[in-house]
Amino acid sequence: MAGNSGKVYLVGAGPGAADLITVRGARILAQADAVLYDALVTPEMLALCPQAELISVGKRSGRRSTAQTLINQLLVDSARSHRLVVRLKGGDPMLFGRADEELRALEEAGIEYEIVPGITAALAAAASARHPLTRRGIARSVALFTSATAPGEPDQVTLPDCDTLVQYMGGREAMTTARKLLERGHSGDTPVVVVENCSLANEHVLRLRLGDLEQGLATCSGPVLVMIGNALAPRDGY
């Protein structure tokens, strides 16, 4: 333990459902003195740590959210006043979770930390839709990407060249993704599976084609993950 500081755990909460957190993650939550949690973490998940001080540091696209620099400082301050601190992140901490900034802040402050992985939304969405992201003879590569950018970064994001594409936070950006793929020569009949509110009681799975996706996802209001590629072609009955 560094100095008088406690230890910080970056814990992946998984895709949403409380029973999809790992056993290790749940055990550490039950021991936590303070939990800094994201906007997508559910009340059922927070019920796993009734003893802890709960600190909301939610970040939602298009809404006012806690600045990352403030989250970093809250994390450091919490570690200096508590024995065991959890930074609870949706999905997996190491994918689109701003972990780099938080790890740097902890390292600069000399605070000990550990990372507990979680189920990322792409894998949970594939399970919900019953469609593997890879398929023998059809798809052997998968790219996970997001169009979300930090302030000051250019909005133009180059799409990866891969058999199966999985776009995180893809609600509003899905139209642009579809247009770029069609311009690149992809067929308008390319299968698309959209999963909204993955693993939660109000989960919704939508199956469409790339040509349809270009028209947008007006019916989706919750967190959306978009999967594109021939591996997602329907099987009999699915």
Which residue type is seen at 123?
L
Task: Identify the active-site residue in 59, 77, 175, 212.
Answer: 59
Identify whether 180 is a catalytic site residue: no
Task: Identify the active-site residue in 7, 92, 169, 227.
Answer: 169
Identify whether 38 is a catalytic site residue: yes
Q: Token pair of 26, please?
A: 């749940």
- Residues 122, 226: Cα–Cα separation, whole Å: 9
- Residues 40, 104: Cα–Cα separation, whole Å: 23
Identify whether 175 is a catalytic site residue: no
The helix/strand/coil state of 207 is strand
Q: What string of DSSP letters covers 10-37?
A: EEE-BSS-GGGS-HHHHHHHHH-SEEEE
Closest CA to 232 of 108, 117, 126, 147: 126
Task: Identify the active-site residue in 7, 38, 89, 227.
Answer: 38
- Residues 124, 140: Cα–Cα separation, whole Å: 19
Length of the chain: 238
- Residues 145, 167: Cα–Cα separation, whole Å: 5
Closest CA to 14 of 114, 97, 93, 120: 120
In this structure, are residues 204 and 195 in contact, taking their beta carbons and an 8 Å threshold?
yes
Catalytic positions are: 38, 59, 169
